[in-house]
């Protein structure tokens, strides 16, 4: 399988391990997570400036200028995909504002900056494709 995959990637000249997809349906964070896990892999994980640029490209491709869920949530801030702890952050000015609130999920804005917000709000969201390995998270836990 790996040899065939490598061959196909060489012919196509690109095989990114992850691809981001903007879903323009309003959902809560938990609903968005379920949708992404069913149709793709999970909500988007942004672990570098390169990932952030790819996410911006996906948004620019459809002229998206709003905020959308990403796979970042707080028990201790973790990524939905593979339940990994944060190693990269691009919080917007004065974010996260957790000491004042019970907010537990993250959005990304058109400038690629993150904000924490209530998980029950309805937002568009970014899914990612790639290999599946994850734990289930319920924002109200």
135 vs 77, residue with greater confidence: 77
Domains with residue ranges and CATH for the chain: 18-129 (3.10.100.10)
Mean pLDDT of the chain: 76
Residue 83's pLDDT band, with cuts at 50, 70 and 90, is: confident
67 vs 7, residue with greater confidence: 67
Encode 15-52: b = buried (16+ Cβ within 10 Å), e = exposed: eeebebbbbeeebbbbbbbebbbeebbbbbbbeeeebb
40 vs 13, residue with greater confidence: 40
pTM: 0.69
């Amino acid at each position: 399988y790996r040899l065939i995959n490598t061959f196909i990637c060489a012919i196509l000249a690109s095989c990114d391990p992850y691809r981001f997809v903007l879903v323009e349906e309003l959902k809560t964070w938990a609903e968005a997570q379920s949708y992404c896990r069913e149709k793709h892999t999970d909500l988007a994980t942004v672990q570098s400036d390169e990932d952030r640029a790819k996410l911006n490209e996906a948004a620019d491709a459809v002229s998206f200028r709003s905020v959308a869920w990403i796979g970042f949530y707080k028990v201790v801030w973790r990524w939905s995909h593979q339940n990994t702890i944060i190693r990269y952050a691009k919080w917007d000015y004065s974010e996260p504002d957790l000491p004042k609130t019970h907010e537990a999920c993250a959005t990304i804005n058109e400038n690629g900056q993150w904000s924490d917000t209530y998980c029950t709000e309805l937002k568009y969201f970014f899914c990612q494709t790639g290999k599946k390995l994850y734990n289930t998270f319920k924002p109200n836990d």
